Amino acid sequence: MNQTSLLEVRDLTTIFPTETGFMKAVDGVCFHIDSEETLGVIGESGCGKSVTAESIMRLLDEESTDYRGQILYNGTDLLQLPEEKMREVRGNEIAMIFQDPMSSLNPVFTIGDQMMEALMLHQKLNKAQAKQRAVELLRLTGISDPEARFHAYPHELSGGMRQRVMIAMALSCEPKLLIADEPTTALDVTIQAQILELMNELKAKLGMGILLITHDLSVVAQMCSRVIVMYLGEVIEEADVVTLFDNPLHPYTVGLLKSVPRLDGERKGRLYEIRGSVPSMKEVSGSCRFAPRCSFATDICRSQPPRLEETAHGQKIRCWHYAAIAEERRGSPGHHE
């Protein structure tokens, strides 16, 4: 871990009660984010990406959720903070952009009222100061006629505008860490590009770290310096973005990258798909979690869970056969390091 890390997650495990017993939605997750770095988190739906983000913010019902491990923000363990102190961190130090801005914005209050509430609470601004700052933020995020949008209700704005409002609200207190959970889902490609460019500009201006959760690998390639891949609540691979795209080592990561449609006009048969489907976390047993879907699986994969190991090049991988897979890929036609 870099000594200047803004956030370090150590062995985070998040446990929910279910009708059939307790379930680990996140299991032993470790990663770090440095200041002014964008870390990508990828994986299929249900792999634990959003639960990891919500655990960092402690947004889950704490009466029924059991958090284990450590979440160190500037050296302070967020899991040990009393709720009153955690409320000061949320929004002020760490902010979050959610997937669906329509469900995150209150439909009965204007955009301005919702923005002013956070500014008055965290920044201790008076009403006039909060209004001025809110309009400035709306202008900063590229919303046209921000004075008029300040008085609008969420349903009166387009999806792209609502997402910009969410970014403006998240950045209103100039947080040091921004958690963006699928921030461009369901937006058209033009608006998506504008939102991502805006996030990069604001990261540079404010010196933020960003945790970017997405299933879109093109967004990862554009935005991230490092990437972690999650599957069934575990981190199964971590690498810098160039290494991950050029030399993935886990069969699941290889499958994800091969599943992406090509835009260069080259097509060699059907689009690749990873066989099977993601099982329920309730079906997890003491084995490699990807083994039922993996063409490389052997007896050891079905009987013993692999550990997350670090290669000589700094790539982290949770697979019994990653060395053999790497050797096979090196010998395949067209492969290059």
What's the pLDDT score for residue 202?
Answer: 82
Residue 215 pLDDT exceeds 80: yes
The helix (H) or strand (E) run that includes residue 25 is strand 21-34
Domain with CATH 3.40.50.300 in the chain: 5-224
- When the pLDDT of each residue in the chain is averaged and rounded to a whole number, the result is 88
285/291 Cα distance (integer angstroms): 11
Residue 325 pLDDT exceeds 90: no
Q: What is the DSSP letter of 319?
A: -
When pLDDT is cut at 50, 70 and 90, the band that residue 288 belongs to is very high
CB 5 within 8 A of CB 21: no
When pLDDT is cut at 50, 70 and 90, the band that residue 337 belongs to is very low
Tens-digit pLDDT profile for residues 62-100: 889 999 999 999 999 999 999 999 998 998 899 998 877
Q: Average of pLDDT values for 199-206?
A: 86
Higher pLDDT, 124 or 13: 13
When pLDDT is cut at 50, 70 and 90, the band that residue 260 belongs to is confident
Q: Average of pLDDT values for 223-240?
A: 96
CB 89 within 8 A of CB 81: yes
Residue 188: CB partners within 8 Å, gap ≥ 6? 160
What's the pLDDT score for residue 140?
Answer: 82
Could you tell me how many residues make up the chain? 337
Residue 15 pLDDT exceeds 80: yes
Tens-digit pLDDT profile for residues 20-35: 788 899 999 999 999 9
256/254 Cα distance (integer angstroms): 6
Residue 45 pLDDT exceeds 80: yes
What's the pLDDT score for residue 242?
Answer: 95
Distances (CA, A) of 45 to 215, 216, 277: 8, 12, 11
What's the pLDDT score for residue 253?
Answer: 94
Provide the whole-model pTM: 0.88
Nearest to 336 by CA among 263, 237, 243, 250: 243
Residue 46 pLDDT exceeds 80: yes
Token pair 């709720």 in the structure block, residue = 83
When pLDDT is cut at 50, 70 and 90, the band that residue 267 belongs to is low
Give me the CATH code for the 5-224 domain, please: 3.40.50.300
DSSP string, 197-264: HHHHHHHHHHT-EEEEE-S-HHHHHHH-SEEEEEETTEEEEEEEHHHHHH---SHHHHHHHHTSPPSS
Lowest-confidence region among 141-155, 182-196, 287-301 = 182-196
317/311 Cα distance (integer angstroms): 8
Helix (H, G, I), strand (E, B) or coil at 7: strand
